[in-house]
Structure 1
Amino acid sequence: MRLSKLFKNAPTTNVTGLCFDSRKVKQGNIYFCLPGMTHDGHEYIGQAIERGAICIVHSRELTPEEMPTGAIYIRVNDVMAAMNQCARIYYSSPSDKLLMYGITGTNGKSSIANIIRNIRNLKEPCGYIGTIAIEYGNVRLQPDLTTPDAIFLQEKLSDMVRCGMKACALEVSSHGLAQHRVDAIDFDVAVFTNLTYDHLDYHGTMESYFNAKSILFKDRVKADGVSILNIDDPKFPELKKLSKARVISYGVNTECDYRAINVEILPNQTNFDLIYEGMAYPVKTNLVATYNVYNLLAAIAALHETGMDLETILPACENLPQIDGRLEQINLGQDFHVIVDFAHTPDGMEQMMQFGRKIAGNHQVIAVFGSAGKRDVAKRKVFGQIADQYCDSIILTEDDPRDEDPKEIADQIKEGIKTKPHIFIQDRYEAIRQAVESANKGDVVLLLGKGDEPYIYRENGRAPYKGDNVIVKECIEKYALDHEDDEK
């Protein structure tokens, strides 16, 4: 593409790509000098030109020493805004050619996005971008971020169009919104799950966190689109006022557009009646736990409001594909329950532990979890308080410790544990093994925080990890099933 198509009055120089990381610049690229939290992209102009950048987009005045020869310099007021606009044009405005679902909220984004994708595929091909993966057609990639950077997003959406996708379900994180990663995407549907305590290490306050989430409904959803909002969340009235699109509500406890009543939650199945426009529709699903009722309602509303019939949507809810690491029930024939979940917020932890307590009955709930290093410290004690309320025994372990001492993190969690027995086993594999070996018939083992993530962040960066769901299967086969055979 010619540079003149991206910037007015620019030369017709050929552009081979867009980049904001000077280490990744290739010959013929435009380099965008983004100001960062720790580094300023303006400091790396020389490196970018050495690697082949033919154009430098910058926002501050540069000294002659900062402007090596061999490149075209374009000054703009906002480099991020310019980068978003260039990426959109360079990749031919892919979001205009896709039915775009954006899902935001503290918990439930991955589940809702995957439900939407799986059911939408019954009508037309739908891609997915989020925490779990980037998927479309035969492509499956491991993401670095829940919501990738603006250039990568436009590239992948463009590739989706090329591969025949007609829709995309995109998880939109608060970081992604605050850092303008989705500014060049027009969303047809904006879904809000809930707002609970999380990411205050970045946002500072719940108000700031909410303001970041609200960007999707104020600015990013199309005026002729639709906002799907959880009426049972305290932020519903405020989001309803802020939304520039028409608002559709869903919930359980309050009259709304899509409401679930007569909810029956079983260990392996959930039943409820969907009330829509005065009619009751029976719904049966293999998803379990109360929060999945909300997730399913949000997905049903989003799909129905974009042209799919309830007669097509509801039968598809009965046997939805298991989402790896999201309330993933592991059953290899052992006589106790094992549940793997990504829960890493106080609300997510409580929801999982409530469900574990419900299905355990008079049996024991054994929880294995930790808390991420270099992240919100205040929630660690809260994790301990929640576990103390619902669990019978607690095994604390590592969870992305980064450069913090896992034992010190565990000690902070222990401050909230007052009555229940607990131990610390630093190695996560060994902690899972201990939980499996200690479980008796009817017990519930909860493995929380990592889900299916194939890595752990340690002091020197991302290290390989099998994932809780893989490790627990190994432990069941080696320690639980063999043990059962010995008893027989």
Structure 2
Amino acid sequence: MSEPSQRAVDFVPMNAPDAPVARTTAELADLFELQAHGSATATVTGVSLDNRDVRPGDLFAALPGAHTHGAVHASAAVDAGAVAVLTDEDGLRRLADLAGRDVPVLVAPDVRGVLGGISAAVQGQPAQRLRTFGITGTNGKTTTTYLLEQVLSHLGRTTGLIGTVELKVAEEHTPARLTTPESPQIQALLARMVGAGVQDLVMEVSSHALALHRVDGIVYDMVAFTHLTPDHLDFHGGMEGYYRAKASLFTAARARRGVILADDEWGRRLAAEAEIPVVTIGSQTPPTQPDPDTDWLLTIIASRPDHTTFTVTHRDGRSLSTEVWMPGRFNAANAAVAVVMAIESGISIGDLHHALAHGLRGNVPGRMERVADHPRCIVDFAHNTEALDLALKALRPTTKGRLFVVFGATGERDTAKRALMGEVAVARADVVVVTDDDPHDEDPAQIRTAVMVGALRAVPAAQRAGRTVDVFEVAPRATAIRRAVQFAGPSDTVLVAGRGHETIQEIAGVEHHLDDRDEVRAALDGGAR
């Protein structure tokens, strides 16, 4: 949902990475044009951003932070086995505790700007030994990543995956904490993948990761853009900055070829501005009309409650029809991006037709995930205005009764979208339950009030259209879910939106276990309505 700051220890409790390529501090200084301080030299076998996770032989990267500089932890890192420190000029001035310890210090103007390259060099450039796919966009990254990984697996490839939900090395899985981890963890994970025989890496690439250089050290073989809508604007300073971060993935420094879903102005702009060769996907489903210059055309054949049949057709006549076992046009678009990425990477349509004989199964945790049937209960990660709108529009045609939505807004993030989300909920649903998402350190009641302002503002328009919409404010979230599910009838649909696969809710700095899927099941097991 957002890019919180997490300890590196939360990354991957897997086996230790394969043996890295030892690099001396002198070699690193020469390769990356760093200032070297101190007379000592050391052999570096790993990189760490957190002194609590340092292993013997690590280079400790001391970065400036929001509240303190990482250099204040350098002494503890050395005590834990770090053999050298990488920092900036400000950090160098703060290394008083290292005086007399003869630890080499490497200084860069922008530590993040060199950290990915250094991490890749120490791990032996593992990305160069994998076929790499990267996917960016506001919504759809996780779903598209999972679907592409399924396509490649159906073709007999050994895959690795890095994303919001989990990290996968061949058959080994572990939960993820960041959409895109920090560069030292990414490079160590890629080295593990190489050692495990992985052939293809499929990876979500967030705007934070691009802006903060987390994916430096990787030049992707194929990248994709789903679409862009307002999100993370507090971090990027506006839509232009947000777009520029995403667009940086489509430069020669980061990728070789690209696929762009060109159904909105941002996709069309990116197609025109990309530095690398790209192909575009357009849709002929109203209200969008395809650009006549579109390379691939997505056509929806049939939409059903649990799956969507579609065709992708190239301008040269090549075509592939299949289905994705997820509802909604937007999921068909995600699946189309995955299929076209596979084709454009060199996989034949004949091989894909055989591999996708039974369609794409979906099974993406927390992405339009059906938890129950009577009432139909769906848990989805929709956490911004556009995603919420798309999810509700996808469910409306196949809802025989009332459409419920339970949602909230994240604290300390994009305050402008709160009222807009309330408006969208009333415009699309019959019963709107406003509750808490992750308040973080903000007052939950204040967040709910901002959402309710938009919801109540939209009620008169719904009434003028002849619709009756019930709006409730219920907290805590578990109670809101329980009341919505128990109030719904067998033919109703309940969408629980905003958190998807997440199982931790942060309130005033305290983490609480909360899984929307478990709460739905508990509500259904709670007896008569």
**Cα distance in structure 2, aligned partners of 1:386 and 1:97:** 46
TM-fit CA distance, 1:258: 1.9
Q: Identify which of 278, 281, 297 aligns with 1:247.
A: 278
**Cα distance in structure 2, aligned partners of 1:240 and 1:66:** 51
TM-fit CA distance, 1:93: 0.6
Within-5 A mapping of 1:14-53: 14-53=43-82
Within-5 A mapping of 1:111-130: 111-123=143-155, 124-130=157-163
For residue 379 of structure 1, what is the amino acid of its counterpart?
K
Identity between Structure 1 and Structure 2 (%)? 29
Within-5 A mapping of 1:127-166: 127-166=160-199
Q: Identify which of 264, 268, 276 aligns with 1:233.
A: 264
TM-score of the aligned structures, taking structure 2 as reference length: 0.85
Other-structure match for 1:213: 246
**Cα distance in structure 2, aligned partners of 1:273 and 1:56:** 54
For residue 214 of structure 2, what is the amino acid of its counterpart?
R
For residue 441 of structure 1, what is the amino acid of its counterpart?
P
**8 A contact 2:271–2:280 mirrored in 1:** no
2:115 is the counterpart of 1:83? yes
TM-fit CA distance, 1:292: 0.8
**Cα distance in structure 1, aligned partners of 2:449 and 2:109:** 47
Other-structure match for 1:486: none
TM-fit CA distance, 1:270: 1.2
**8 A contact 2:158–2:197 mirrored in 1:** yes
Q: Give structure 1 regions of 4+ aligned residues with deviation exceeding 4 angstroms.
A: 9-12
For residue 50 of structure 2, what is the amino acid of its counterpart?
D
**Cα distance in structure 2, aligned partners of 1:312 and 1:473:** 40
TM-fit CA distance, 1:50: 3.6
2:449 is the counterpart of 1:411? yes
Q: Identify which of 280, 285, 289 aligns with 2:324.
A: 285
Encode CA deviations 1:112-136: one digit per residue, 9 max, x unaligned.
0001111101231111101010012
Other-structure match for 2:399: 360
TM-fit CA distance, 1:388: 1.0
Q: Identify which of 479, 495, 505 aligns with 1:446.
A: 495
Other-structure match for 1:471: 519
**8 A contact 1:119–1:316 mirrored in 2:** no
Deviates more, 1:268-277 or 1:167-176: 268-277
TM-fit CA distance, 1:164: 0.8
CA 1:371–1:15: 2 relative to 1, 3 Å: same
SS in 1 for 2:228: coil
CA 1:49–1:355: 2 relative to 1, 3 Å: same
**8 A contact 1:339–1:446 mirrored in 2:** yes
**8 A contact 2:327–2:395 mirrored in 1:** no
**Cα distance in structure 2, aligned partners of 1:297 and 1:365:** 28
2:379 is the counterpart of 1:340? yes
For residue 472 of structure 2, what is the amino acid of its counterpart?
I
CA 1:220–1:192: 2 relative to 1, 3 Å: farther
Other-structure match for 1:398: 436
SS in 1 for 2:301: strand
**8 A contact 2:328–2:395 mirrored in 1:** no
TM-score of the aligned structures, taking structure 1 as reference length: 0.92
Within-5 A mapping of 1:91-110: 91-110=123-142
SS in 1 for 2:494: strand
**Cα distance in structure 2, aligned partners of 1:301 and 1:462:** 40
Encode CA deviations 1:437-467: one digit per residue, 9 max, x unaligned.
11113111010011121111121243322x2
SS in 1 for 2:30: coil
For residue 387 of structure 1, what is the amino acid of its counterpart?
A
Deviates more, 1:342-351 or 1:321-330: 321-330
User: How much is the aligned-residue C-alpha RMSD, in angstroms?
Assistant: 2.1
2:362 is the counterpart of 1:324? no
**Cα distance in structure 1, aligned partners of 2:199 and 2:96:** 48
**8 A contact 1:103–1:112 mirrored in 2:** yes
**Cα distance in structure 1, aligned partners of 2:352 and 2:137:** 23
**8 A contact 1:385–1:416 mirrored in 2:** yes
**Cα distance in structure 1, aligned partners of 2:416 and 2:23:** 51
Deviates more, 1:116-125 or 1:171-180: 116-125
Encode CA deviations 1:374-411: one digit per residue, 9 max, x unaligned.
11111110011001101111111111111222222111
**Cα distance in structure 1, aligned partners of 2:382 and 2:415:** 16
**8 A contact 1:191–1:227 mirrored in 2:** yes
CA 1:81–1:417: 2 relative to 1, 3 Å: closer
Encode CA deviations 1:194-221: one digit per residue, 9 max, x unaligned.
0001111111110010011111002444
Unaligned runs of 5+ in 1: 484-488
